[in-house]
Structures are given as structure tokens and as C-alpha cells.
Amino acid sequence: MEIGGEIRAQGKNAQANSWQIAIEKPEAGKREVWRVVDLDNQGLASSGNYRNFFEINQQRFAHTIHPKTGWPVQHALLSATVFHANSMTADALATLFMVLGREEALSFARQRNIHTILIEQTPHGLKEWSSF
């Protein structure tokens, strides 16, 4: 079942293989696959700041609001994907990681053994980071 950034896989597909789920490449205005992952009896959720944003004087403002400041987050993290037994928990964690940014999100995920894939904008293009 997929409801917009969140999905839950149960069992195997018709060929008795793991479900194959695409993680979207985080580029505004495009719909391309970044990579495909296996999903076995668990949930997956992705959050990102590459679709919903606005720009003022060439500065981008994300739709993710930092709860401590009340302002849009200002970092290079574009997408956070989290694998978890519970899709709702995966969704909450993906949103949290978008607030924290790459370094804090990876630290949080590694300390708690949370499987996450983060995609960040660098001066040389997109770069993937993983907690596993």
C-alpha cells in the first residue's frame, strides 16, 4: 500500500522476490529514479524539500519548518528515506531527519540502528549517505 511517500510491503511479489521500491531522485520538476531498494515485510517513508519550496532573491526556502526556530530549515539535505517496521514511525523519522540535516540525522540513526538513506546537494552534485 502506498499513500504518498510512505509504503508498507508484506510478503513477496508474484515471482517470490522482495518488493522493489524506487527512491526518487530529488530534483525539482523531475520524476526520475535515484535507486531501487528491496523491501521485505516493513515500511518505508521518504520526506524531501525538493518539490515544495519557494525562492526569494535566489534563496530557496524549504517547506520543512524547524520547530525550535519557526523558520524553514536551511541545509543541503534534500531527501530522507527511512526503513522501519511501522510506516507511520518511518514517516515521522524521515521528517525529523529533514529537520536535523545530514550530520545529525546520520548520528541519530546510527545510534538507534535506524536504516536510512539521505541525499544531499553538494557543490559537485547529489550525494547519498547511508546509516548502514
Query: Tens-digit pLDDT profile for the chain (132 aa)?
Result: 445 678 999 999 999 999 999 999 998 888 899 999 999 999 999 998 877 776 778 777 777 888 898 888 888 999 999 999 999 999 999 999 999 999 999 999 999 999 999 999 999 999 999 998
CATH assignment, 6-130: 3.10.520.10
How far is CA 28 from its chain centroid? Answer: 15
The domain spans of the chain are 6-130
Q: How far apart (Å, rounded) are the C-alpha atoms in residues 19 and 33?
A: 16
Q: Where are the beta strands (DSSP E) in 3-72?
A: 6-8, 19-24, 33-39, 43-48, 53-56, 59-62
Question: pTM of the prediction?
Answer: 0.89
